[in-house]
Amino acid sequence: MSSLAAEIGVNRVTLYRWVGTREQLLTEVIWSLAQRTLDLELARATTTGGERVARIVAGFIDAVINNQGWRRQIAEEGELTMRLLTRSEGGFQPRMIAAFRDLLAEEADIGHLDVPVELDDLAYAVARIAESYVYRQLITGQPPDARGAEQILRLLLR
């Protein structure tokens, strides 16, 4: 935060007043990048139904795990990042679930996806599957895997 304050020409107190804690700033920056990435994947999607959802989520995962900035963040502060982005109080997790819920609802509303459970529950499951494949290295020691997540999502959403 000291380096950022110096770079933008304000003191640290002012910076903290503007953005809150370092963790809050980090979460907001990551969410803005995630939202932009989701928007790009939505624009690329050409399929419908569960296939569309699976491809969008897998495309998102692929973009995240292949981003150099993300790789560096996970290498340097993986545990902190995982905690910030998977807990409700940080603000990232509720927004990610809501984004997936909107995607699922869109497909269900036009009749391309049969959702026999609550949309909120399904959106939560999709989010947890996505993040488990993004954080796979930290959780299991295996490399992150967008295609593995896509296969599981296809099974879930058919």
- The gap between the terminal CA atoms of the chain, to the nearest Å, is 46
Query: What HEC string does the chain produce?
Result: CHHHHHHHCCCHHHHHHHHCCHHHHHHHHHHHHHHHHHHHHHHHCCCCHHHHHHHHHHHHHHHHHCCHHHHHHHHHHHHHHHHHHHCHHHCHHHHHHHHHHHHHHHHHHCCCCCCCCCHHHHHHHHHHHHHHHHCHHHHHCCCCCHHHHHHHHHHHHC
How far is Cα 29 from Cα 33, in angstroms, rounded to an integer? 6
pLDDT at 1 over 70: no
Which has more confidence, 11 or 41? 41
Task: Kindly indicate the confidence band of residue 157, based on its pLDDT and cuts at 50, 70 and 90.
Answer: very high
How far is Cα 96 from Cα 113, in angstroms, rounded to an integer? 20
pLDDT score at 134 = 96
How far is Cα 14 from Cα 28, in angstroms, rounded to an integer? 17
What integer is the mean pLDDT of 128-132? 97
Taking each helix axis from N to C terminus, what angle separates 49-65 and 119-134, rounded to the nearest 10 degrees? 30
What integer is the mean pLDDT of 147-154? 98
Class of domain 21-157: mainly alpha
What integer is the mean pLDDT of 146-158? 97
pLDDT score at 6 = 79
What integer is the mean pLDDT of 93-116? 97
| Claim: this prediction has a pTM higher than 0.75 | yes
pLDDT tens, position by position, 18-57: 777 889 888 988 999 999 999 999 999 999 999 999 999 9
pLDDT tens, position by position, 77-98: 999 999 999 988 879 999 999 9
**Domain locations along the chain:** 21-157
- Measured CA to CA in angstroms, residue 135 lies from 10, 79, 132, 153 at distances of 35, 10, 5, 17
